[in-house]
């Protein structure tokens, strides 16, 4: 991004911050005016308050409040080139206008990053209403974030529909096929998941180093320990996504009732700093307990 583009984006962000903080400054001024008027009426003994006595304090209060709110808003966008507070690399130039849909999108984005996915989804869905004219780029971004909300909430069919709409609208972030494949696997459409993963395997795809562990996780969900172990072992041998590959292999070994091998891999995964060790340990122990129960029945 060249200097003039960065400068233009920053100037536009400053203007939007100024406009958005204007109502807050007016509200602060109104509160101050009400308090000052009440003070005069209660303690000065006058039945009326001369406007000249409160005009200057009102003006000063408005300017100070506007400056404070404006500075607070600007601190959210401290990166040298960022326009949006979150996910600027995904959103690009979408929703950067001085209009209602851009303000609604930013609110939805804020809720999304606070983990309030249902509320965020409502905002993203409302923006897609016919009331708002969205550009093709904005439609792609909007469908992607709707898909992310459905994805996280576990509503995989809706997530897949949104991800496909995002792709059709020209949204091309590298994570899109990965998220689509995960939802297909979660929705039971393993053939499409295999196809997507297969197209990404051993390519220059940005996240190609995790595709083998993605295959492994898919087979774990299918309760197919043998195929899961095959993919996790390949990832281990190639040192791809190593800690997660060790962790997945440990679970697959337990599914196959190879408890000693599973325990060794489990410890190795923890020693190699597997992501979310507490959550992983709980999952591992649940699978191990179920496998031990099966083994006792046999």
Is residue 265 within 8 Å of residue 297, measured between CB atoms? no
* Least confident range of 10-19, 156-165, 183-192: 10-19
Q: How much of the chain, in percent, has pLDDT values that exceed 70?
A: 86
Read off the pLDDT of residues 155-177 as tens digits, 9 standing for 90 and up.
Answer: 999 999 999 999 999 999 999 99
- Angle of the 175-186 helix axis to the 136-152 helix axis, nearest 10: 40
Per-residue model confidence (pLDDT) at position 44? 61
User: Would you report the helix, strand and coil content of the chain in percent, each value rounded to 5?
Assistant: 75, 0, 25
Question: What does the CA dihedral 161, 166, 168, 170 come to, rounded to 10 degrees?
Answer: -170
More confident residue, 46 or 96: 96
What integer is the mean pLDDT of 75-88?
Answer: 64
Return all residues near 79 (Cβ < 8 A) that are at least 6 apart. Answer: 88
Token digits of residue 44: 């000065």
Per-residue model confidence (pLDDT) at position 46? 58
Per-residue model confidence (pLDDT) at position 6? 44
What integer is the mean pLDDT of 200-222?
Answer: 93
More confident residue, 256 or 79: 256
Q: Which domains are delineated in the chain?
A: 3-77 (no CATH), 84-154 (no CATH), 174-298 (1.25.40.10)
Q: pLDDT band at 5, cuts 50/70/90?
A: low
pLDDT of residue 146 exceeding 80, the answer is yes
Nearest in space to 150 (alpha carbons), one of 165, 170, 132: 165
Q: pLDDT band at 258, cuts 50/70/90?
A: very high
Read off the pLDDT of residues 268-278 as tens digits, 9 standing for 90 and up.
Answer: 999 999 999 99
Mean pLDDT taken over the chain = 86
Q: pLDDT band at 33, cuts 50/70/90?
A: confident
Return all residues near 170 (Cβ < 8 A) that are at least 6 apart. Answer: 136, 137, 140
* Predicted TM-score of the model (pTM): 0.74
pLDDT of residue 202 exceeding 70, the answer is yes
Per-residue model confidence (pLDDT) at position 48? 61
More confident residue, 4 or 237: 237
pLDDT of residue 3 exceeding 60, the answer is no
Per-residue model confidence (pLDDT) at position 295? 81
Per-residue model confidence (pLDDT) at position 55? 75
Q: pLDDT band at 24, cuts 50/70/90?
A: confident
* Least confident range of 42-51, 113-122, 187-196, 231-240: 42-51
pLDDT of residue 222 exceeding 80, the answer is yes
Nearest in space to 183 (alpha carbons), one of 213, 218, 226: 218
């Amino acid at each position: 991004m060249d200097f003039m583009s960065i400068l233009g984006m920053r100037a536009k962000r400053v203007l939007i911050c100024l406009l958005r903080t204007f109502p807050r400054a007016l509200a602060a001024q109104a509160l101050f005016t009400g308090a000052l008027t009440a003070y005069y009426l209660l303690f000065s003994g006058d039945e009326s308050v001369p406007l000249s006595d409160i005009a200057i304090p009102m003006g000063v209060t408005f300017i100070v409040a506007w400056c404070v709110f404006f500075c607070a808003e600007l601190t959210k966008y401290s990166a040298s080139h960022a326009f949006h507070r979150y996910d600027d690399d995904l959103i690009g130039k979408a929703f950067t206008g001085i209009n209602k849909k851009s303000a609604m999108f930013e609110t939805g984005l804020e809720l999304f990053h606070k983990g309030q996915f249902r509320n965020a989804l409502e905002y993203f869905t409302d923006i897609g209403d016919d009331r708002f004219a969205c550009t093709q780029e904005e439609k792609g971004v909007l469908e992607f974030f709707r898909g992310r909300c459905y994805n996280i909430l576990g509503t995989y069919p809706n997530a897949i529909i949104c991800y496909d709409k995002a792709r059709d609208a020209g949204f091309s972030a590298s994570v899109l096929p990965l998220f689509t494949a995960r939802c297909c696997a979660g929705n039971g459409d393993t053939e499409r998941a295999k196809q997507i993963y297969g197209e990404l395997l051993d390519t220059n795809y940005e996240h190609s180093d995790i595709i083998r562990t993605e295959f492994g996780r898919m087979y774990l969900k299918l309760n197919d320990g043998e195929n899961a172990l095959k993919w996790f072992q390949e990832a281990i041998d190639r040192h791809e996504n190593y800690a997660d590959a060790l962790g997945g292999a440990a679970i697959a070994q337990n599914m196959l009732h190879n408890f000693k091998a599973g325990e060794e891999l489990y410890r190795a995964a923890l020693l190699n700093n597997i992501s979310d060790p507490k959550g992983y340990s709980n999952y591992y122990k649940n699978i191990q307990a179920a496998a031990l129960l099966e083994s006792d029945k046999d």
